[in-house]
Structure 1
Amino acid sequence: MTKRKSTLLWTFTSVFGGLTALGGQLACTPSIEDYPRELEEAFCEWQHECHAYERVRDCVDSKQIESDPQYDYLVRAVAGGSMAYDRDAAADCLHAISERGCVDDEGPPPEVCDRVFLGKIGRNGPCLNSAECAGNAVCGFDPTCSDQCCVGACRVFADPVAIGEPCSFGGVACVPEAFCASDPVTFLATVCTKRVKAGGDCSLGQVCVEGVECDGSMCREVEQLKEGDVCDVPFATCVEPARCTYQAEGEPPRCAVPPTLGAPCDPNNDTCDRVDTYCDPASLLCTLLPGPGQACLNGYTCIPYTYCEGGGGFDEFGEPTGDALAACTRRGGEGDSCDSYDACLGDLECIAGHCSFPELTPAPVCPVPGS
């Protein structure tokens, strides 16, 4: 049995889909005690900027990032010497988050955030969680141990298999420049084989090098298209942040950078780049989604800190029906009454008719191995 590193650190990294400026200043280097609070504040600054919350305080009051029960073990592990906390990486993480904007509300955290807590335990050293293991390793446990505080050992993953060495599907990976080939007759795994460059044969399942795709018989380079280029062509992609967009009826699609809030847009293409905007057909501008008291867009879409309430349902074509007008309604804070799962903010849930925090499962207070 193993515990992977993401288990313990997930709460403190996965909440960041993007952030805007944190008060216009670079983050200072937070202490380990202040880090979860500053993460919560940073997260809420972004959420407010992207209209997931009407006020920053609403977010802070409805999130449980700072009170995650697993964080106590991180602090004790650093004090016990099985982990290190990098204050500079923590500050860089907050700063990197501040530059992600409102284009996307999902996605992994910045890479630097993975370096805030680093494991220091080497091969076969004692551990309670994979976060304590150095490098590419996991904490392995005796599967017969049922104690919540079982002490495991850091198990280092095997090195990637070199070109020409035997491999197996689902086993240890080949080195990045290779793939695990299969026998064309038996389809069984054979050896790690060098990836095929552009112009090479891929008719028997060979894997092309990065940036190259197989057309069924030959590896072809993927053309990088610039803004304005026609993009309805095979083996081509628009260079980010541009994406393939139909500009006008009868015209071929071209690579275009999606317009942001307040910029001109085409309502037929829904091209606005922010998650809290849409292309208003009246003004032909990227506009904030409808807010409290306004009619829901298309009968179901509202600005993120509200939800669509009322209306008479939808017909078979997805059009709203009935006489009642569906309106955007503020999501409730702690203690507010509610009648549906989406009526509460943040981590709050509609429990017995009121927005309440679900009970957190207390983490066992386990001693740090070896400390």
Structure 2
Amino acid sequence: MSRRAVLLSVLTAVGCSDGSTPPTVELDVAASEVGVAMCERLTDCSVLGLALLSQTACEVGAYQYRNGTLAGLEAWVADGTVSYDGEALRRCLDGLPEAACADLVSNLLVDVPGCDDAIVGAVTTGGACDSSWQCAAGLFCELDAACPGTCAPRGGVAAACAGDDGCQAGLDCVGGACATMLTAGDTCDNQHPCPLGLNCDRATGETTGTCRALVFTAGLGEPCDPGAGQLCTAALVCAALDTTGDAWECRAPSSPSAACATSAPSACPVGTVCLVASGEASGTCTALPGDGAACLQPGSLVLTCQEDLACDTATDTCVRRVDNGEACTSEAQCLHACDGGTCTAPGC
């Protein structure tokens, strides 16, 4: 069972006596469920995702969506700027694991086949908006210095853009202009990155490379190469053999407190990270600190505290994350800001 399925079974156990997933997603949990599903899919869409997101159970995705990306969903539905179909969203999320990675670039479900009827914007061209989710098909929320923004047509090739949602489906925003996404075999560099699902394979020291599809075929003990997108079969990790990053091998994952190496996906179980000292090739699967404990030194770690916690850098202490509208004592507890002792939602 996937991590998403485990989480959903917990969330819905009260409402479904047989443990099955309900046929609809209730509005009040929609943002969290979308966040989990997107996090799960993105984990498999890039080597970086494999290395970093695999350290989490994707609760961080749920937190970010309900307090950021889709924090305004219930209000948008109430004011009529968005229409919501819980049954359509359930079908969408059930099919998201099979969605093409490139369809997730804009972070808008309307660009994902099978998801375009779940959360639908109703604001037409020229109308006021806080988010592109509120804009009708083919539009995005153009935000200037002042709020609210204005729904405007998404740009075609070479149109100016500030983000991927400002470009038409199938394009991404590169260097401030909408561009056709690179495909497997195309030349890539820092200014022309490969889209999700492809990796820029370049030799050490080279500035350009070639977009390669991620391939999960190497078996136990066989060589692998995250840089080239050559990864291991399910239940194995591609582990670095030395500090150069030139030699990798498929290995079984490590147990808590056991030896580990930098790997894609993470070699350590959820709730732990592979802590490798500078200049060393291997380290130890180390439990993430709990509430009130000292944060792990960040380095290349995506998590320095347990997943439902954040590191308060002012005190170097792990503190509990809280949702918008709840009491807070530090900025680290909130996704956006702690204002007057309360976590506030992001403005437009």
TM-score (norm 2): 0.45
Calculate the TM-score normalised by the size of structure 1.
Answer: 0.43
State which structure, 1 or 2, has the greater radius of gyration over its C-alpha atoms: 1
Structure 1 or 2: more strand by fraction: 2
